[in-house]
Amino acid sequence: MEISKLKLKLKSFGHLGEQHYKSLVQSPFEIPTNNEFNIALSNMSQALQTRIKEGEITMENNWKGIKKSMPGGAGPQGPSA
């Protein structure tokens, strides 16, 4: 009797694994969304690379922004002697 109850419980939970598997497989409706995301990501990457090449973004400017955002307006003082 207990074994039949356990089998029944296992059967009732069997469909959960199937749903999980189906959620991992992309549906045809999700593929355009992924393509749009990849295009947007590529465009942002190209824009960032262009700004770096044109000198709009430099390590010095980034470091100045980091120093300004830190409490007290000063960054790390470097290695101590």
Instruction: Give the best-scoring range by mean pLDDT among 12-26, 47-61, 66-80.
Output: 47-61
Q: Is the pLDDT of residue 81 over 50?
A: no
Distance separating alpha carbons of residues 1 and 28, to the nearest angstrom: 45
Q: What average pLDDT score do residues 29-50 get?
A: 85
What tokens were used for 15?
Answer: 């469909």
pLDDT for 18 equals 57
Chain centroid, CA 52 distance in Å: 23
pTM of the predicted model, to two decimals?
A: 0.39
